[in-house]
């Protein structure tokens, strides 16, 4: 008799869309779906909608699912499986997601912050669990993060560990969405990158102004394309972004001494444009030991948040 | 029959003196001694000198010792029990201390960085192990640190975790002993504090100039006394020091989300002078959850490095 495979179901809940992935123990995606999150309809309707989407799945696949992982964008109480606070899913706050999904689907559910899920996915799929200590950085509008220490997700005392986005990299620097100045996110979050680019565009002629005449429509993707076309302002934007990202990473390496720093998310498509200035900040450090084994890489797997959730569900 | 007590022997090796303490399981010091380190005579002579000092100890006390902890100021390979690199004990580099002490004393030896030992001492004696996650900061000439995560010393990938002193808090800021600019140590290490004080003394009349006419002899102790006497330059020095220490601590709280931040060392005698500006930086953070349970306190136990080493030897 063929040995029955064990699969994990990952649900990655964003402010707009929720991604659903069925993964093998190696992290291969066997089924993918997407449903709108509609946070305004409340958490109960959300659980119903996701459950309905699962019922439309191939039954033999569904029967192999052994566990579910749910990633939520916000401050998650993973012990109780609920969401404490979130700016993007306000109506979901306080809801006991674990209980609701376990009742609806009859399978064990693990709930985590979405950045933790993405880092877990990267740890298993890209790093093949070959190291113990990983700092994961999720780059999008905001900058999130997660820590794998000694092979397990590290939560800290209130479940907030890994929030590298709000580490200060420039006292009295640029304004961050959190309200404070000088956070890493204020430079390396997509709004920070675009702000740097706009300031530089105002100084001198740039390709970006031609490609995107309305500076309000500027996106990191356009900045990356202009930098590939050797536009000075775009290149300088990535240098500044990478410099501050490098400072944030260097500080984290002194504290956590990880083997791997894994960058996840859309902005990370900038590739060498952002990795080169990061590397030059790390190379400049004089105290070398903590950096000896610290490697920075960009994750390549799509939907790592959902994949990681599925893998954690399987654990 | 009276139950035989189990004691630990702690050895805290500094650049000038080595402190030896015999401790109970609760961290009470039952015997204390001090020998000169004389690093220039090499590690073998050092092991001999410490062993001789122990032979002069009350025999009944010595017989109760179950384990030894050795703290070394530098980059320690605790797995192999040796010292990899150190600016203050150069001749000790590469020496296999664990083997040498185990051979000389016939007891199991644990070797750790001295900051890790001090933080372990504070964790057991001052915090009574009542929490899982602690960031310890040792303040002296340099700024060191150690991490207790989930109740155990966290070493990281090369044994360098917790090095908060070289986290950047002011890009392009003051020069640090490591050669880089803007490290926390450059502001909160004793040389950084004195540098800030000297700069302020040059601006306007200060009590410190009267008490210490040769600015090269200025010490943090004098800055603390002058601040207690309401000297403006001394008070401003502590505000600056505490501000940067606060930035360093806030960054570490975002990453590590600890319950306790324990400050150890001579400079920490400044008490509220340094804690007040730290608290005001932490209060100013807008993202509140990671800070909810984070308490900053100054350790009061003397010789925490040796006490912690003895306690770890007993583990």
Of A163, A179, A256, nearest to B161 by CB-CB distance is: A256
**What distance in Å separates residue A209's CA from the closest CA in chain B?**
30
- Answer yes or no: do B289 and A160 touch at CB < 8 A: yes
Here the tokens at position A275 are 């990795």
pLDDT of residue A3: 57
Nearest chain B CA: its distance from A141 CA (Å): 16
| Residue percentage of chain A with pLDDT more than 70 | 98
Confidence of residue A1 (pLDDT cuts 50, 70, 90): very low
Closest CA of chain A from B294, distance in Å? 9
Contact A156 B168 (CB under 8 A): no
Number of cross-chain residue pairs from A and B with Cβ atoms under 8 Å apart: 140
Strand ranges across the sheet with B152-154: B152-154, B143-149, B134-139, B260-264, B295-298
**Contact residues on chain A for B247, CB-CB shorter than 8 A:** 168, 171
Give whole-number Cα distances, A34 to A52, A90, A98, B102, in Å.
12, 21, 20, 61
The helices-and-strands tally (H runs, E runs) of chain A is 11, 12
pLDDT at B1: 45
Residue A188 tokens read as 């390396």
The alpha-carbon gap from B4 to the nearest alpha carbon of chain A, in Å, equals 36
The dihedral region occupied by A27, where left means phi > 0, alpha psi between -120 and 50, and beta the remainder, is: left
State which residue of chain A sits closest to B284, comparing Cα positions. Answer: A180
| Contact check, Cβ <8 Å, A169/B167 | no
pLDDT value of residue A145:
96
Residues of chain B neighbouring A155 (CB-CB closer than 8 A): 257
Give me the pLDDT at residue B33, please: 94
CB-based contacts of B82, cutoff 8 Å, min separation 6: B76, B94, B95, B96, B97, B98, B111
Minimal-distance CA residue of chain A relative to B75: A289
Residues of B in contact with A168 (CB under 8 A): 169, 247, 250-251
A171 to chain B: nearest residue by CA?
Answer: B170
Contact yes or no for B156 and A131 at CB 8 A: no
Q: Which residues of chain B lie closer than 8 angstroms to A252, CB-CB?
A: 255
| Cβ distance of A285 and B157 shorter than 8 Å | no
Q: How far is CA A156 from CA B146, B236, B259, B270, B291, in A?
A: 16, 34, 8, 29, 11
B13 min Cα distance to partner chain A (Å): 21
CA distance A130 to chain B (A): 12
Distance, in Å, from the CA atom of B119 to the CA atom of B147, rounded to the nearest integer, reads 7
Give the residue from B74, B93, B157 with the most A CB atoms within 10 Å of its CB, the best one to mutate: B157
Distance from CA of B308 to the nearest CA of A (A): 21
Q: Which of B132, B147, B257 sits opposite A160 (nearest CB)?
A: B257
Cα–Cα distance for residue pair B132/A159, rounded to 1 Å: 13
What are the C-alpha distances in Å from B186 to residues A170, B139, B220? 16, 12, 14
Interface touch B259/A161, C-beta < 8 Å = no
- Residues (pLDDT < 50) of chain B are 1
Q: CB–CB of B157 and A84 under 8 A?
A: no
Mutate to test the interface with A, among B160, B172, B189 (most CBs of A within 10 A): B160
Closest chain A CA to residue B291: A158
At A39-59, the pLDDT tens digits run 999 999 999 999 999 988 888
CA dihedral A249, A255, A260, A263 (to 10 degrees): -30
CB < 8 Å to B293, chain A = 157-158
Asked whether the beta carbons of residue B163 and residue A259 sit closer than 8 angstroms, the reply is no
Q: What span, in angstroms and rounded, lies between the C-alpha atoms of B228 and B284?
A: 26
Of residues B64, B69, B59, B54, the one with CA closest to residue B124: B69
- pLDDT (0 to 100) of residue B269: 76
Residue of A158, A168, A255 with shortest CB distance to B161? A255
Which 3 state secondary structure label does DSSP give A244?
A: helix
Distance, in angstroms, between B272 CA and closest chain A CA? Answer: 23
Verify whether the Cβ–Cβ distance A168 to B258 is below 8 Å. Answer: no
Tell me if A258 sits within 8 A of A134, measured CB to CB. Answer: yes
Distance CA A129, CA A135 (A): 13
pTM: 0.94
pLDDT, position A15: 83
Q: Give contacts of A165 with chain B, Cβ < 8 Å.
A: 254
A223-239: pLDDT as tens digits: 999 999 999 999 999 99
More confident residue, A4 or B100: B100
């Amino acid at each position: 008799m063929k040995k029955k495979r064990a699969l994990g179901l990952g649900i990655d809940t964003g402010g707009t869309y929720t991604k659903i992935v069925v993964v093998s123990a190696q992290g291969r995606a066997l089924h993918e779906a997407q449903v709108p999150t509609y946070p305004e309809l409340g958490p109960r309707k959300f659980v119903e909608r996701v459950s309905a989407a699962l019922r439309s799945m191939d039954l033999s696949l569904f029967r192999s699912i052994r566990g579910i992982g749910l990633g939520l964008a916000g401050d998650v109480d993973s012990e109780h499986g609920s969401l404490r606070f979130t700016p993007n899913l306000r109506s979901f706050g306080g809801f006991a997601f674990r209980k609701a999904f376990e009742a609806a689907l009859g399978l064990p559910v693990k709930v985590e912050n979405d950045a933790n899920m993405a880092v877990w996915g990267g740890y298993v799929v890209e790093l093949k669990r070959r190291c113990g200590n990983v700092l994961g950085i999720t780059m999008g509008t905001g900058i999130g993060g997660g820590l794998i220490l000694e092979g397990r997700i590290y939560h800290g005392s209130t479940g907030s560990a890994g929030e590298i986005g709000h580490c200060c990299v420039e006292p009295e620097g640029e304004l961050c969405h959190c309200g404070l100045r000088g956070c890493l996110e204020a430079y390396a979050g997509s709004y920070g990158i675009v702000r740097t680019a706009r300031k530089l565009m105002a100084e001198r002629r740039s390709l970006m102004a031609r490609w995107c005449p309305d500076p309000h429509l500027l996106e990191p993707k356009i900045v990356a394309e202009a930098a590939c076309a050797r536009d000075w302002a775009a290149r300088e934007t990535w240098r500044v972004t990478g410099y501050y990202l490098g400072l944030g990473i260097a500080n984290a390496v002194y504290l956590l001494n990880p083997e791997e720093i894994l960058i996840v998310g859309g902005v990370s498509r900038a590739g060498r444009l952002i990795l080169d200035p990061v590397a030059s900040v790390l190379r400049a450090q004089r105290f070398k030991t903590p950096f000896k084994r610290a490697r920075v890489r960009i994750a390549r797997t799509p939907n790592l948040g959902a994949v990681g959730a599925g893998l954690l569900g399987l654990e």
